[in-house]
Amino acid sequence: MIASRGNDAEKDSPDNLSLAGDGFDTVVRAKAAVEKKCPGVVSCADILAIAARDVVAMSSGPHWTVELGRLDGLVSKSGSVAGRLPGPDMRVRELAAMFAKSNLTVLDMVALSGAHTVGFAHCTRFAGRLYGRGGVDASYDPAYARQLMAACPHDVAATIAVNMDPITPTAFDNTYYANLAGGLGLFTSDQELYADAASRPAVTSFAKNQTLFFEAFKEAMVKLGRVGVKAGKHGEIRRDCTAFNT
């Protein structure tokens, strides 16, 4: 959330451009309110984790207990993001290897991917599936592909985006998984979860049982919240989420 004059902070990375600016603003405002009551106690990292949980719950999704005590990082560089986040064109083997580095299983990976039941993505993130050399990706449902091409023509502006879930875009539910069975996965990394034998059983189970998905998602979010936690001299509790303490 660090604001950089040179636009080279983590949030400025191309991989993070689909994150809504008003989401960052909400966390910054929440931090300011907390600082007035409890100065120097709650980190921006903890507020972000709580906000993520609350957004899910407010979208009819599950609620879980967020483990607290994180510190905020002392460095924020755009270049440090590359290769550390799942890419939209990744296959399951690549995704699984990346998640495994954070002690997350294939089941965790499939459950966390279910967050794509809400939110949006810029057209540039999946344009290759529509306008590649071989034409439209055959794994797309034809009607869905036409819908995407109408929303994202070949020369579309980089700022244009579409919903990740075309059926229930504002509800946190298991429709995302049913969509994959119908060829409605927006990214290659989405559709591959259904195509690959290693992940398809979990996709099928979650599509049939929303409660099962919610329980797996909660468990995976707790595990994800333990990844890369800063402690001791490696972090601080920022007074302002947009700037390091001085």
Q: Does 79 lie in the same domain as 106? A: no
Q: Is 67 annotated as a binding residue?
A: no
Q: Does 109 lie in the same domain as 193? A: yes
Q: Is 10 annotated as a binding residue?
A: yes
* Structural domains of the chain, count: 2
Mean pLDDT of 98-106: 97
Rounded to two decimals, the pTM is: 0.89
Q: Is 204 annotated as a binding residue?
A: no
Q: Report yes or no on 189 lying in a domain.
A: yes
| Enclosing domain of residue 112 | 92-224
Q: Does 230 lie in the same domain as 219? A: no
What are 118-149's pLDDT values in tens digits? 999 999 999 999 999 999 999 999 999 999 99
Q: Is 219 annotated as a binding residue?
A: no
Of 86, 84, 76, residue with least CA distance to 12: 76
What are 31-60's pLDDT values in tens digits? 999 999 999 999 999 999 999 999 999 999
Q: Does 195 lie in the same domain as 159? A: yes
What are 113-125's pLDDT values in tens digits? 999 999 999 999 9
Q: Is 165 annotated as a binding residue?
A: yes
Q: Is 196 annotated as a binding residue?
A: no
pLDDT attached to residue 16:
47
Q: Does 197 lie in the same domain as 110? A: yes
